[in-house]
Structure formats: C-alpha cells, structure tokens
Amino acid sequence: MRIPPRFSLLGGAVALLSALLAGPATAAPAAVTAVGHICYSGLPAQAHETLDLIEAGGPYPFPQDGTVFRNREGILPSRTTGYYHEFTVVTPGSETRGARRVVTGDAVREDYYTADHYASFDLVDHGC
C-alpha cells in the first residue's frame, strides 16, 4: 500500500494556494467553493485516531484504507490521479465502514474530512 508523500509545509501551502488561484479567469471552479473548513479540535475522536494512523503509516483497520481517491464528485481541487488517498473514520455502532472518511492530499497536512461519504468535504485546520 502506498502512503502519500507529505511535502514541506511551505511547499504544501504553495501547492494549495496555486490550486485555489488556478482556473478560468471568469469564475472560480465550483470544486474549490464547495470545500468548507473544520478545526482539528472539532473532529470526532475517531478522525483523530485515523489521522494518527496516517502519520504512523498504519496499520489500518480496513484493506481499502490508503487507496487512491479519484475525486469523481469533483468537490476537491482538481489534481492528477494518485494525488488523493482515502482512509476510513470508524463509525461507532456501524456494521460497515460507515460514511466517514479522511482524504489526504500529497501536501503536508492537506487533510479533508467527510461525514457524508463524499457529498461534502471540510479541509482540516490543524492549528485550532
């Protein structure tokens, strides 16, 4: 299983800023405006556990964890295939993987949380 590389914080910030500013001059891409923000402290405890596992390189509870996320919904900024990877956020009481995920980008701390199986995403702010 390939774990996405994490670049320097400055490189990640530059890459993310470039993505937000790129696109047609007439309007911002819908994908960029659809991403919200969430404080790290506002995530459920299980999301903290998932982020800790990602930092440690596993082991992960599900075989799908760490696989390429293709962004078919077009909500996240457009990137090449292989840029994003998905990880399960365990849902207490669920008999399946549930709907919660963390999707990571290749940039440092470019982590997105979804509680509704990719219908919406929040960029995790690790500073609050």
Catalytic residues: 86, 117
Q: Name which of 78, 101, 64 is nearest 15 in CA terms.
A: 78
Q: What are residue 123's DSSP bridge partners?
A: 37, 112
Q: What are residue 101's DSSP bridge partners?
A: 88, 114
Return d(Cα 3, Cα 54) in angstroms, integer.
Answer: 8
Q: In what order do the strands lie in the sheet with 84-88?
A: 35-39, 121-125, 111-114, 101-104, 84-88, 67-69
First to last CA, the chain: 31
